[in-house]
Chain A
Amino acid sequence: MTTMAEKGEHRYILNMGPQHPSTHGVLRVILEMEGEYVMDPQPVLGYGHRMHEKMAESRPWPNFLPNAARMDYLSALIYNHGYVGVVERLAGIEATPRAEYIRVITSELNRLQSHLLWLGVLVLDLGAFTPIMYTFEDREKILDILEDVTGSRLTYCYMRVGGVVRDIDDKFVERTREYISWQRSRMPMYDKLVTGNIIFRKRIEKIGEFNPDMARRYGLTGPVLRGTGIPYDIRRAEPYSVYPEFDFEIPTETTGDCMAAYLVRVREIEQSLRILEQALDKLPAGPAMAKVPKKLKLPAGDACYAVESPRGELVYHLTGDGSDTPYRMKIRVPSFSNLSLLPELCRGMLLSDLCACMGSLDLVIPEIDR
């Protein structure tokens, strides 16, 4: 980095974070400013680095199950799903049909609560305090439903190789159905309260120019990518679990700004509700856990398992060597690649617009740091 003297004295450095309300975690961004304009934002990572990949290599594979929930705390079940998926794929085990449905149902509930939190928090970052109270009311309902079946409210450790740890009951199905109609009844309110709000629109419209070429260069995935017009969703592109059995759309927008990412996410809420409805209707009977050898060794070889997290593509790449401990496990997290384009995206932007961009990326920092 060149010194300030070389660049002219009017430039100054502003530290955003590591403790900052709109970074949502311990992220630090070193901003080189010129007045109110950000000339060079450089994210500094690693404040929450725990080396999950090393932990995976140093203990038998079942002991990593709780770790999977502690990377992205907003989509713990989807991280569960990816991890059991990769072990099953490598070991050649199949989960029972009922378990696959339960995995999809709980994953979609998890995705919904992540999107609801994002909706409240994005608007909060932009200065409107009220909507988060409403989205948290909805989110509480999901957490209550999930707590009953999984035993926790945030860092779930619910899925096992071969199935899920506890079957869902009629009460769960009934409450989820009640929740679906509740959430549908709330969406017109959000439309009026947030989407149609002129101040909100002015803060995010034409802010952040994501485009397909930038997406290819940086490996952008998730709703932000779909906001540039590319209908790429792992659930559809490389279908896993029982997703091919459901009828749902991949919402896209073409403008590629923060508003597009916003609209895509809000429309994804409806699509998740549709998947939930169909999954509850089709839920097969049978055991929620397959017969799996008690001491399962990972065969030599490698396997990947990609899932769609609320933030984009999550990939587990597991390499086994015939023992019960993985030889190597790489975890590709979506926010890592999504954040890496920040310096290019936000160069020359107003400081307040940088907050809008980071809010649209829906960053979860412990996931980036791992």
Chain B
Amino acid sequence: MESKDSVIAAFKKIPVKVEEVDFAQRGYHLEIRLESSQLRAFAELLRTGNFYLSYVSGLHLTTGIDVSYQFANYGFPCRLLAHVSADADNSLPTIADIFQGANWHERETKDFYGVIFRNHPNLKPLLLAEDMEDLKPLLKKEQALKDRAAITRVEKIAEDKPAPAVKKEDA
């Protein structure tokens, strides 16, 4: 995988949904939606390239927890953001045996959202205290919860204005 195009071509073998996005607007190059069953194959594929795991994070939506994995490449500009919805029992397979750095990031995600990473070697609280395991501080209250559409970028309606949502109020 020597270029962004070859990375996209490699993803087609899994196969995963890849979308090229505008770096100037989004700050990353590829957005990927994964099924939880594809997660490990996806990580193993990236492991064969010059990729590193930047972080693992979560997002609480009406449909459940959306876990995102950001990878970037040491060799060429290719930052990618992969989203996986946690399974019905709020769990996902670990990738800590593929990218060892995921170990702490997954523990952090468990701290903040309660997502269980299956087969994780040591899923103890990392940033929270041991007795705060049930706190899950980043879960939203029901009235604050939004669905995916509410946080999805409204695609360009007119070509001339790239950011339509900026409103001027008593400026």
Please give the residue numbers on chain A whose beta carbons come within 8 Å of chain B beta carbons, in ascending order: 45-46, 49, 51, 53-54, 57, 86, 89, 91-93, 212, 215-221, 225, 230, 232, 237-238, 291, 293-297, 299-306, 313, 315, 317, 319-322, 327-328, 330, 332, 336-337, 340-341, 344, 369-370
Contact = CB atoms under 8 A, between A and B. Distances in A.
Interface band, chain B: 35 or more
Contact of B151 (A49, A295, A301): A301
Given A46-B129, A92-B162, A218-B101, A330 B154 contact: no
A251 to B, nearest CB: 16
Nearest to A340: B104
Interface of B: 23-28, 47, 50-55, 57, 59-60, 68, 70, 72, 74, 77, 79, 81, 99-101, 103-105, 112, 125-129, 137-138, 146, 150-154, 162-171
Given A46-B126, A92-B163, A230 B100 contact: no
Main secondary structure of the interface of A (DSSP, over half): mixed
Contacts of B103: 340
A296 B166 contact: yes
B127 A91 contact: no
A25 to B, nearest CB: 14
Contacts of B79: 238, 304, 306
Given A46-B126, A315-B55, A370-B127, A321 B150 contact: yes
A304 B81 contact: yes
25 contacts: A46-B126, A46-B127, A46-B129, A89-B25, A91-B166, A215-B74, A216-B47, A216-B74, A218-B101, A219-B53, A232-B74, A293-B168, A297-B166, A299-B164, A300-B151, A300-B165, A301-B153, A306-B27, A306-B72, A306-B79, A315-B54, A327-B151, A332-B54, A332-B57, A337-B101
B70 A92 contact: no
Nearest to A228: B74
Given A54-B138, A301-B151, A303-B26, A238 B146 contact: no
Contacts of B60: 328
B128 A313 contact: no
